[in-house]
């Protein structure tokens, strides 16, 4: 299994995802899960994680296209952190008013 698939499996499913656990057999756990997902959607830290992940995946696509092959998630992650993360965070914080 490649690194990107491992990273994707480690990430929580989005609320719209069919993989979201919402079993009618256990209403208590379903409501807890819905509550947890609501918290995750409101969490600033989680929103930052999602935004960063989107940028990393965009970087992976661009660099893979340049090289004519898939560079992999881990390489894209490390490259993006080294080259772009600091400036991306500054720009994002300015745009968000932080």
- pLDDT at position 21 is 44
> Which has the closest alpha carbon to 13: 58, 45, 46?
46
Tally of domains in the chain:
1
Confidence of residue 14 (pLDDT cuts 50, 70, 90): very low
pTM over 0.85: no
> Could you give the CA distance from residue 55 to residue 21 in angstroms, rounded to a whole number?
27
38-58 pLDDT tens trace: 776 788 888 899 999 999 999
Given a contact cutoff of 8 angstroms between Cβ atoms, the answer to whether 3 and 73 are in contact is: yes
Residue 60 lies in a domain: yes
Q: Which domain holds residue 35?
A: 29-96
Residue 41 lies in a domain: yes
Name 88's Cβ contacts closer than 8 Å, sequence gap at least 6.
52, 55
User: For the chain, what is the mean pLDDT?
Assistant: 77
- pLDDT at position 42 is 80
Residue 5 lies in a domain: no
């Amino acid at each position: 299994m490649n690194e990107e698939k491992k990273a994707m499996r480690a990430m929580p499913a989005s609320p719209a995802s069919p993989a979201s656990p919402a079993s009618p057999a256990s209403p208590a756990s379903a409501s807890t899960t819905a509550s947890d997902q609501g918290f995750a959607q409101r969490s600033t830290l989680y929103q930052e994680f999602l935004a960063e992940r989107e940028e990393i995946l965009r970087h992976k696509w661009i660099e893979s296209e340049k090289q004519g092959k898939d560079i992999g998630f881990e390489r894209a992650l490390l490259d993006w952190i080294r080259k772009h993360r600091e400036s991306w965070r500054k720009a994002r914080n300015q745009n968000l008013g932080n």
